[in-house]
């Protein structure tokens, strides 16, 4: 076998090795992506679990969320603040499901099947609707606009 033939054989072996390593890297990326998506799902579920357990484990919060949202009785400033904080957490957790659905982390329709109807139920109540009317401007301006500005900056 001549040196030229050995050189050709070495190039073929090296090419096969590169192809095999690229296949291995592709499989690793696929597995890593699956793990990251699972992590995102677990994180979202943990956010909702905190909210659900606060309501289920504390009668005072459950009453605040039911009678407070419906406007069945007057609530003092402290309870109003507590209700607004709970609504903020509720909306923020729902936003995460919507955002992850938009980015393709969750399957299409996840928000519409899970958090969307729950959020609509809460925001269609007397105090939920008034809270959203005042909070949506703040939430959109404080979270979305800075992101848009960062994206809109030209590369330097």
Distance separating alpha carbons of residues 78 and 61, to the nearest angstrom:
12
- Report whether pLDDT(148) > 50: no
* Every domain of the chain and the residues it spans: 3-151
What phi and psi, each to the nearest 5 degrees, are found at residue 73? Answer: -145, 160
How would residue 138 be classed by pLDDT, with cut points 50, 70 and 90? low
Cβ-proximal residues to 132 (8 Å cutoff; 6+ apart), any chain:
87, 91, 123
Helix ranges restricted to H, 58-107: 59-70, 77-102
How would residue 111 be classed by pLDDT, with cut points 50, 70 and 90? very high
Mean per-residue pLDDT for 89-117? 91
The pLDDT score that the predictor gives to residue 1 is 82
The pLDDT score that the predictor gives to residue 12 is 96
32-78 residue pLDDT tens: 988 888 888 888 888 889 999 999 999 999 998 988 898 888 899 99
pTM for the structure as a whole: 0.67
How would residue 156 be classed by pLDDT, with cut points 50, 70 and 90? very low
Dihedral angle over CA of 19, 20, 26, 30, nearest 10 = 160
The pLDDT score that the predictor gives to residue 54 is 92
């Amino acid at each position: 076998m001549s040196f030229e033939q050995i050189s050709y054989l070495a190039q073929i072996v090296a090419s096969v090795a590169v192809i095999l390593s690229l296949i291995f890297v592709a499989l690793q990326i696929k597995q890593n992506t699956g793990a990251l998506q699972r992590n995102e799902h677990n994180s979202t579920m943990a956010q909702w679990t905190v909210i659900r357990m606060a309501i289920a484990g504390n009668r005072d919060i459950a009453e605040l969320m039911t009678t407070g949202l419906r406007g069945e009785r007057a609530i003092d400033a402290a309870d109003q603040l507590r209700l607004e904080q709970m609504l903020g957490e509720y909306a923020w957790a729902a936003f995460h499901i919507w955002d992850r659905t938009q980015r393709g982390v969750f399957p299409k329709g996840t928000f519409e099947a899970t958090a969307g109807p729950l959020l609509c139920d809460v925001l269609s109540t007397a105090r939920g609707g008034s809270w959203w009317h005042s909070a949506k401007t703040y939430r959109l301006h404080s979270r979305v606009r800075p992101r848009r500005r960062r994206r809109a900056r030209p590369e330097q």
